[in-house]
Amino acid sequence: MKTLFDKTQLGQMSLKNRFIRAAIGEKTSDGQVNENILNMYKELAMGGSGALITGFTLIDEAEKNFPMMAFYDDSFCEGHKALTSLVHEKGANIILQLVYVGSYVMGKTTDMTILAPSAVENLNTKVLPQEITVKQIKAIQEKFSKAAL
């Protein structure tokens, strides 16, 4: 039987142990990986976890006013490369959590089209979104694909 301290495989990723740090939010004003984020992940990677899951990383430029990391165009590549390299240098793996926020929006939402599966008010944010269409779903799927690539 494996213990938490045994090496393990997660798909093609080799982990030095079975500890995975859960995602929390990182604050950034422009979506870019900044020094505060790099320093936080350096400390986390040195803490001994086999893998770290990032906080929400936006895939849609329309949601850019939310204070979290983003990856909706190539301008974010260098920051994410630096983050990945730093975590790997400290012996941990990193899992990027891509997200479309939808009705879980935070902050200023004026002049935004907020989409969700149904036009039902979000109980947490009190936002009343538009019901998403099949065409819009396909467009968001494409944004996830581009960000992952």
Q: Averaged over 49-55, what is the pLDDT?
A: 95
* pLDDT at residue 24 is higher than 90: no
Quick one: tokens of 32? 């870019």
Assess if residue 3 is contained within a domain: no
Reported confidence tier of residue 1, pLDDT bands at 50, 70, 90: low
So what's the pLDDT on residue 32?
96
Q: Distance between CA atoms of 53 and 57, rounded to whole angstroms?
A: 11
CATH of the domain at 48: 3.20.20.70
Assess if residue 1 is contained within a domain: no
Assess if residue 2 is contained within a domain: no
Assess if residue 135 is contained within a domain: yes
Assess if residue 141 is contained within a domain: yes
Q: Is the dihedral of CA 149, 43, 45, 1 positive or negative?
A: negative
* pLDDT at residue 14 is higher than 80: yes
* Chain position carrying tokens 């891509």: 98
CB atoms within 10 A of CB 30: 11
Q: Averaged over 116-137, what is the pLDDT?
A: 91
Beta strand pairing call for 69-70 and 51-58: parallel
Q: What is the pTM of this model?
A: 0.88
The parent domain of residue 135 ranges over 8-148
* pLDDT at residue 137 is higher than 70: yes
Q: Averaged over 132-138, what is the pLDDT?
A: 97
| Position with higher pLDDT, 90 vs 112 | 90
Q: Is 69 helix (H, G, I), strand (E, B) or coil?
A: strand
Assess if residue 131 is contained within a domain: yes
Domain total of the chain: 1
Assess if residue 21 is contained within a domain: yes
Q: Distance between CA atoms of 117 and 107, rounded to whole angstroms?
A: 21
Q: Is the dihedral of CA 11, 76, 34, 107 positive or negative?
A: negative
Reported confidence tier of residue 107, pLDDT bands at 50, 70, 90: low
